[in-house]
A = this chain, B = another copy of it.
Amino acid sequence: MSNLSISEENYLKAIFHLYKPGEGIGTNAIARHLDTKPASVTEMLKKLADKKLLTYEKYQGVIPTRKGFTLALVVIRKHRLWEYFLVEKLKLKWDEVHEIAEQLEHIQSDLLVEQLDAFLGFPKLDPHGDPIPDKEGKMCAMNCCCVSEIKPNSNARIFGVKNHTSAFLKHLEKLNLTIGKTFTLVNRNDFDQSVELVLNKQTMHISKEVAENILVEKLK
């Protein structure tokens, strides 16, 4: 029964999201992700290392332990379940839920989480296409890639987003690029990496930045 503070939970989650097999996670990257200062991060890393949630060696970059991964997944599970609740039950828009879930994810009660999960019908994906870990921390494998990675003349269905800011999501909504929509990638412009695609027989252009933040599954 590891009782973590809200700050500790946010650090664990950030570290989880920044983790890539093989590489240690840098102090600066964590500070950037949490909008805080590197000096503050160093302090917290020592505390989390004391609690055996990650391995810390000066200047080496940090790697979460099994326990660290597990606890991060619990927070992520709660975040995504609450987002699902807010959109499906309370009828909030997909761009309105992230900030609220950022608070709700820290509510402490195992009973609450399990009952919420059941009430929602054990959803597998959150409103942004991200998989929701189950009670054991398992989540469905994702077979998707960025729009910026698919080839011209291929069809794709929008699966999710990588950027969760309200500004980006509202922009997508305006472009009618929401989850489930299918389109054909017609062409990629070499000089600015912008992408030309056809959606509902309408041709449209999206910037490199947008293309990098939309996740799709390829269609045959």
Task: Give A residues with C-beta under 8 Å from B.
Answer: 86, 89-92, 96, 99-100, 103-104, 107-109, 111-112, 115-116, 119
Contacts and interface: CB of A to CB of B under 8 A. Distances in A.
A100 B132 CA distance: 22
The secondary-structure label for the interface of chain A is helix
Contacts of A92: 111-112, 115
B111 A103 contact: no
Contact of A90 (B100, B108, B119): B119
A138 to B, nearest CB: 23
Contacts of A109: 99-100, 103
A166 to B, nearest CB: 12
Contact of A89 (B91, B104, B107, B119): B119
A25 to B, nearest CB: 29
Given A90-B115, A91-B119, A104-B104, 7 more contacts: A86-B112, A90-B119, A91-B115, A92-B112, A100-B109, A100-B112, A104-B107
